[in-house]
Amino acid sequence: MIRHLVHLRFRDDVSAVEKQALYDRLAGLGGHIDGILDFQSRRNVSVETPLVRGFLDMFWLDFRDQAARDAYLVDPEHQAIGADIVACPEGGAEGVFVCDIDV
């Protein structure tokens, strides 16, 4: 299984409602792309503020395997959501950190 983790440093003007709308769209991909096993989003509650560097929001998707993750990456609906997400962090893509791990 592949876990695709995305950490976000949203601009201050991005509301909780806007964030949730993005997360809801991502969650909807589970019914659209075969091999998505789960979607979760969370708020970073770390007290190590200097190390957090403003990355206060995160989400992850669990994929059955690398092939499912790769299908997600090129999916047009995912790419549209991704573009909307990248428009929201401080510095655009500089405010996004992605990490994929084998679980």
Distance from C-alpha of 11 to C-alpha of 100, rounded to nearest angstrom: 24
Mean pLDDT of the chain: 97
Q: Hey, what are 10's tokens? A: 């949203």
pLDDT band for 92, please (50, 70, 90 cuts). very high
Determine the CATH number of domain 1-43+65-93.
3.30.70.100
Helix (H, G, I), strand (E, B) or coil at 87: coil
Confidence of residue 40 (pLDDT cuts 50, 70, 90): very high
Token reading at 8 = 């976000």
pLDDT at residue 5, rounded to an integer: 98
- Per-residue pLDDT averaged across 1-17, rounded? 98
Q: Are 66 and 7 in contact (CB under 8 A)?
A: no
What mean pLDDT comes out for the span 43-65?
A: 97
Percent of the chain's residues with pLDDT above 70:
100
What pLDDT is attached to residue 101?
A: 98
For the chain, which residues make up each domain, given as ranges?
A: 1-43+65-93
| Backbone φ and ψ of 99, nearest 5° | -145, 130
In our burial notation (b when 16+ CB lie closer than 10 A, e otherwise), range 56-65 reads: bbbbbbbbee
